[in-house]
């Protein structure tokens, strides 16, 4: 596994190609983290296993984790922003959330 220089130890890059970091220890909202040498305050809490943008990601850009695309950004995602079902979609299967109506996605 790789980590980026000047990277918060609570966040890890699984591959050099990844544009997201994986949270390996809980981070509370408003805590300061270091991402790619930039200190920033996170606006939301990030749970273990969740993703944070390693860089700014444009709408439609592939989300890359473990060196493989896992979906596409549905909106612009800023550096350090939580990356999850609210701002990405799978390119391979329908995404389900609590707002999905049975039979309609």
The answer to whether 59 and 31 are in contact (CB under 8 A) is no
Residue-wise pLDDT tens digits, 38-90: 999 999 999 999 999 999 999 999 999 999 999 999 999 999 999 998 999 98
d(CA 4, CA 21): 10
Q: Write out the H or E segment, with its range, that includes residue 64.
A: strand 62-65
pLDDT digits (tens, 9 = 90+) for 2-24: 444 568 999 999 999 999 999 99
Domain total of the chain: 1
Q: Tell me, what's the pLDDT at 34? A: 95
- Residue 25 belongs to some domain of the structure: yes
Residue 98: inside a domain: no
CA-nearest of 32, 29, 25 to 10 is 25
CA distance 94 to 72: 12
pLDDT at 96 over 60: no
Inside any domain, residue 47: yes
Cα–Cα distance, 105 to 100 (Å, whole number) = 6
Stronger pLDDT, 105 or 83, i.e. the higher one: 83
Give the tokens for residue 49.
């296993």
Contact 21, 36 (CB under 8 A): no
In a domain, 99, yes or no: no
Q: Let me know if residue 35 belongs to a domain.
A: yes
Domain membership of residue 71 (yes or no) is: yes
Asked if residue 95 belongs to a domain, the reply is: no
* CATH number of the domain bearing residue 31: 2.30.130.110
Q: Which domain holds residue 44?
A: 11-89
């Amino acid at each position: 596994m790789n980590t980026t220089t000047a990277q918060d130890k609570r966040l890890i890059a699984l591959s050099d190609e990844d544009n997201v970091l994986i949270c390996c220890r809980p981070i509370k909202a408003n805590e300061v983290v270091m991402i790619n040498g930039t200190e920033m305050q996170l606006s939301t809490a990030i749970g273990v296993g969740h993703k944070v943008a390693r860089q700014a990601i444009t709408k439609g850009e592939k989300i890359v984790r473990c060196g493989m695309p896992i979906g596409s950004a549905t909106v612009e995602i800023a550096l350090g922003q939580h990356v999850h079902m609210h701002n990405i979609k799978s390119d391979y299967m329908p995404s389900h959330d609590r707002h999905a109506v049975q039979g309609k996605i």
